[in-house]
Homo-oligomer: A and B are copies of this chain.
Amino acid sequence: MTQLQSAVAVDREDSPRMDRLLAPRSIAVIGASSDPHKISGRPIAYLRRFGYSGRIIPVNPHNDEIQGLRAYPEIAAVDGPVDLALIMVPAERAAGAVRACGRAGVPFVIVVASGFAEVGTRGAALEADLRAAVAETGVRLLGPNCLGMISLRDGAVPTFSPVLESAADLRPGPVAFVSQSGAFGSFLFGELHDLRIGLSHYITTGNEMDVSGPDLLAGLVADGGVRVLLTYLEGVTSGTQLLQVARDAHVADKPIVMVKAGRSTTGAAAARSHTASLAGDDRVFDALMRGHGVVRVDSQEELLDAAQVFGASRRTSGRRLTILSESGGAAVMMTDTAVDVGLEVPAWEDAWQARLDEFVPAYGSTRNPVDFTAALLTDPGMLRAGLSTAIAHPGTDMIAVLVGNADHFADPLLEAIEDLYAATDLPIVVVWTGGSGRPRSRLRECGIPCFTDPVRAARALGRLADHSLRPPLPTPLRPDDVDPAAAARIVGHARAEGRTALDEQESAALVRAYRIPVTDSAVARTAAEAVTSAHRFAAPVAVKVLSSRIAHKSEIGGVRLGLATPDEVAAAAAELLDVARAHGEHDPRLLVQPMWSGPAEMILGARHDPALGPVVLAGFGGILVELLRDSCVAAAPTDHETAARMLHGLTGAPLLSGIRGGPALDVEVVVDSLVRLSWLVSDLGDEIAEIDLNPLLVDAVGAGACAVDALVLLRERR
A residues bordering B, Cβ < 8 Å?
Answer: 114-115, 118-120, 145, 162-163, 165-166, 179-187, 189-191, 194, 232, 234, 259, 261-267, 269-271, 273-275, 298-302, 326-333, 335-340, 344-345, 347, 362-363, 365, 367, 369, 371, 373-374, 404-405, 408, 433-435, 452-456, 622-624, 626-628, 651-652, 654-655, 659-660
Contacts and interface: CB of A to CB of B under 8 A. Distances in A.
Contacts of A455: 298-302
Contacts of A369: 270
**In the assembly, how many copies of this chain are there?**
2
B335 A270 contact: yes
24 contacts: A120-B362, A181-B330, A182-B327, A183-B328, A184-B327, A185-B329, A191-B433, A191-B452, A194-B434, A259-B333, A266-B335, A266-B338, A267-B335, A270-B328, A273-B367, A275-B328, A299-B455, A300-B333, A300-B453, A300-B454, A301-B453, A623-B659, A623-B660, A627-B654
B335 A264 contact: yes
Given A190-B434, A329-B183, A405-B186, A298 B337 contact: yes
Interface centre among A275, A326, A405, A408 (most CB of B within 10 A): A405
Nearest to A555: B661
Contacts of A165: 408
Interface centre among A120, A298, A336 (most CB of B within 10 A): A336
Nearest to A275: B328
Q: Lowest 9 A-B CB distances belong to which pairs?
A: A181-B329, A183-B327, A184-B329, A299-B455, A190-B434, A274-B328, A187-B404, A264-B339, A267-B336
A252 to B, nearest CB: 27
Contacts of A232: 329
A623 B404 CA distance: 45
A300 B330 contact: yes
Contacts of A189: 405
A345 to B, nearest CB: 5
A319 to B, nearest CB: 12
A332 B274 contact: yes
A185 B326 CA distance: 12
A622 B623 CA distance: 10
A568 to B, nearest CB: 22
A273 B182 CA distance: 50
Given A363-B119, A623-B652, A187 B234 contact: no
A377 to B, nearest CB: 9
A30 to B, nearest CB: 23
Contacts of A274: 328-329, 331-332, 365, 371
A272 to B, nearest CB: 10
Contacts of A624: 623, 627
B405 A264 contact: no
Contact of A330 (B187, B275, B347, B408): B187
A186 B404 contact: yes
B299 A332 contact: no
A183 B654 contact: no
Contacts of A187: 327, 330, 404-405, 433-434
A365 B273 contact: yes
A233 to B, nearest CB: 9
A344 B266 CA distance: 8
Contacts of A340: 263-264
Given A345-B270, A408-B166, A374 B183 contact: yes
Nearest to A628: B651
Contacts of A654: 626-627
A257 to B, nearest CB: 14
A436 to B, nearest CB: 10
Contacts of A623: 623-624, 652, 655, 659-660
B362 A329 contact: no
Contacts of A627: 624, 651-652, 654-655, 659
A182 B371 CA distance: 12
Given A165-B408, A184-B327, A301-B455, 19 more contacts: A162-B408, A181-B329, A183-B404, A190-B435, A194-B434, A259-B333, A262-B332, A266-B336, A266-B338, A270-B367, A273-B371, A298-B337, A300-B333, A300-B453, A300-B454, A301-B456, A623-B624, A623-B660, A627-B651
